Structure 1
């Protein structure tokens, strides 16, 4: 069933240096808007799942998949398509190198490949083949076998470095996946944004000061602890001890009972991040409820979220049930692994470890989790995906049984 909406939104953005104002539906993808409304067909549509990279363009100077980006989220952004790179020096060098090294055949992947190659030419310190191939992993080509593409990019990087052009991009601004740096602010917001060290501190400020924070995703977790609720809730008030129970978590400082500075290390397959930031903590002794609201970043990925917890009487006397409500928003490279189902699976495994370590801490045992300096154990992506598949299969079987029971 197709659900149509009339909740259109007017956006103002800059496309290839030209101011554009348009009304778009919330579901309209940036690629469709550019191709159908602005007749900019350089961004090609292939898989439409963010896998092939044919639709890659620049959003605020950073490569992005336009088939997965909603046009409505690009309000006040600067969009650059392959058409907007006609006079770009690096792209001109890459075009010549692609011709010289026979790095294109049918040409369908070439616009997105050039955008990705430009990012590599600006960012990589040297013409390292392995790093180039890793950087091109999100751009697929069915014709060339990639050898010519890699050689072309290598030659451009080598020539630029030989001329003394340092990596980092124009004006010293590093390029990378969308979310690697804050998006452009509106003029009124820019006037209020501090500069220098104050700006860095503001970026790591706790999300508690952002009263209208709305998480992109949320989920709930519950676990039981074989200790009375008062003891469990009292331990939740000892931030450093609780952090030691959560794999990968660490605390740098506790300026006050209402504020903590630290972070968490996350590793999923080839992607790893150490989010550092701050959080605001509130607790209600009477209801045994608490809230942690914070934000952090690792320089490329950023996260913001909240955790609400409630400690209640368990099923058996002297036991507790802990209910967690988690809401979060991810940006940057780690966001591609941040699909809600995958995050819930990861959270389930972390929660199980946390509950076990929490009980060990309450019991006074010495196996109450990693030290703050310890790195988290890597999460097996294949096991996570298998768990998701089995979970969906079980859900499907449940629905089938339910529909059969209703028909009987």
Structure 2
């Protein structure tokens, strides 16, 4: 980090202070205290405020991998991760690997094997390759190509890159340097937050992993902030073909609501005002298990309530806190109900790179539709759809994209029709 960048961290315009959030983290071994807008991405903080321009920006959609950095020791997309979600995290950029032994071996191998041309992808490629060198037990070309598939190069054709990574892995294993044990390290190969293979924290097919035995090393459940103010908010609406009183009564049955929510599992019998449990989330190769607790408030007179919860990733370092405020009103037709939801959330840690508000709101809309169908089934006396497979935002996202594509094509056809004489 340059002295010029360090000197201006605390010299922010006074007029903008109200729109900023304080942030403390460690970058390349140095503590950083600054303030950022909630929308600021980690890559912009590194490049524009800290002058760490080795972190390159390419697609800015998390596809090309040019912005890859280490976030708490795991490769992460700096263009997707919000800076505010990296509070207390340790960030290492390509500049922070100047004295790293593995990175030095990779740089020499890249030169030897002609594994770079224009060099734009190289910083992110080296960060990703370093992770493979540390964790792959054998110089397996197929696994190396899979591990580097999130880092795009327009010049080399990848042959030299793969050859360089294979060579470093083979040389280190020949010198008796073993791969890191994923069970000890708490993660397997893959992007930030991944739980692949035998990594600790992997989600078994049958459901949530058993809660750790008393005395075993585990992360304590997070507490609930008394004056919680979410970083992001949005509204949702559910229309149900059942009377408001029946809908409100069902929403008071915690076990029934959990059965309607994909991926939700309760720990023991819930109390009327509090509950502990977990939520399974799967995003492509990333599988996370959030465990936490929630406080439940209900007002019978106004048919309204609030669920305030907090949880953390059982295998990683991501934490979330959120609230759902709901109100059950009469629907447009007699005997129907309308449920108005106000959702607020804050997501911190590695998985925060998937927390873009627009994306979360779209996914929440799809999830709300599935939840409404499950509520309808239960209110009609039918079995709610099984939720053992867990919440799959990737599948929901594909549905969002299909819906947007269909809407765009429909609007385009309508525009063409309107232009005809």
What CA RMSD, in Å, does the superposition of the two structures yield over aligned residues? 4.0
Report SS of the residue matched to 2:324: strand
User: Which position in structure 2 is the counterpart of 1:383?
Assistant: 399
Deviation at 1:34, TM superposition (A): 4.9
Do structure 1's residue 7 and structure 2's residue 16 form an aligned pair?
A: yes
Map 1:82-121 to 2 at 5 A: 82-121=94-133
**CA distance 1:131–1:299, change in 2 (3 Å):** farther
SS in 2 for 1:103: coil
1:7 aligned counterpart, secondary structure: helix
Change (3 A) 1:395 1:279: farther
Return the offset for 1:241: 1.4
* TM-score, normalising length: structure 2: 0.73
Residue segments in structure 1 that go unaligned for 5+ positions in a row: 182-195, 401-408
1:163-202 superposed matches below 5 A = 163-167=176-180, 172=185, 200-202=218-220
| Corresponding pairs, count | 376
- CA distance, structure 1, for counterparts of residue 345 and residue 23 of structure 2: 25
Q: Please, what TM-score do these two structures have when normalized by structure 1?
A: 0.75
Q: Which one of the candidate residues 326, 333, 337 is aligned to 1:320?
A: 337
1:242 aligns to 2:257 (yes or no) = yes
Cα distance in structure 2, aligned partners of 1:318 and 1:58: 55
Q: Does 1:361 align with 2:384?
A: no
The offset of 1:109, in angstroms, is: 1.6
Question: Structure 1 residues 223-232 or 20-29, which shifts more?
Answer: 20-29
Distance 2:238 2:38 in 1: 38
Q: Name the CA shift for 1:393/1:306 in 2 (closer, same or farther; >3 Å).
A: farther
Matched residues in 2 for 1:72 and 1:355: separation?
33
User: Take 2:354 and 2:292, find their aligned partners in 1: how far apart are those partners?
Assistant: 21
> 1:57-76 counterparts in 2 under 5 A?
57-67=69-79
Distance (whole Å) between structure 1 residues aligned to residue 125 and residue 44 of structure 2: 19
For residue 325 of structure 2, the aligned residue among 282, 303, 308 is 308
**Contact 2:106 2:130 survives alignment (8 Å):** yes
**Alignment partner, residue 266 of structure 1:** 281
1: CA distance, partners of 2:397 / 2:352: 15
**Any gaps of 5 or more consecutive residues in structure 2?**
1-12, 196-213, 416-421
Counterpart-to-counterpart distance in 2, 1:391 and 1:131: 39
- Give, in angstroms, the shift of residue 93 of structure 1: 1.8
Q: Distance in 2 between matches of 1:27 and 1:281?
A: 30
Q: String of CA shifts for 1:178-227, please: whole Å, max 9, x gaps.
A: 6789xxxxxxxxxxxxxx9698342x33x5x2224333332222222233
Contact 2:54 2:95 (C-alpha < 8 Å) held by counterparts = yes
Cα 1:108–1:197 change in 2 (3 A) is farther
Residue 341 (structure 1) aligned to one of 338, 358, 378: 358
2:194–2:287 Cα contact (<8 Å) kept? no
Partner of 2:315: 299
SS in 1 for 2:105: helix
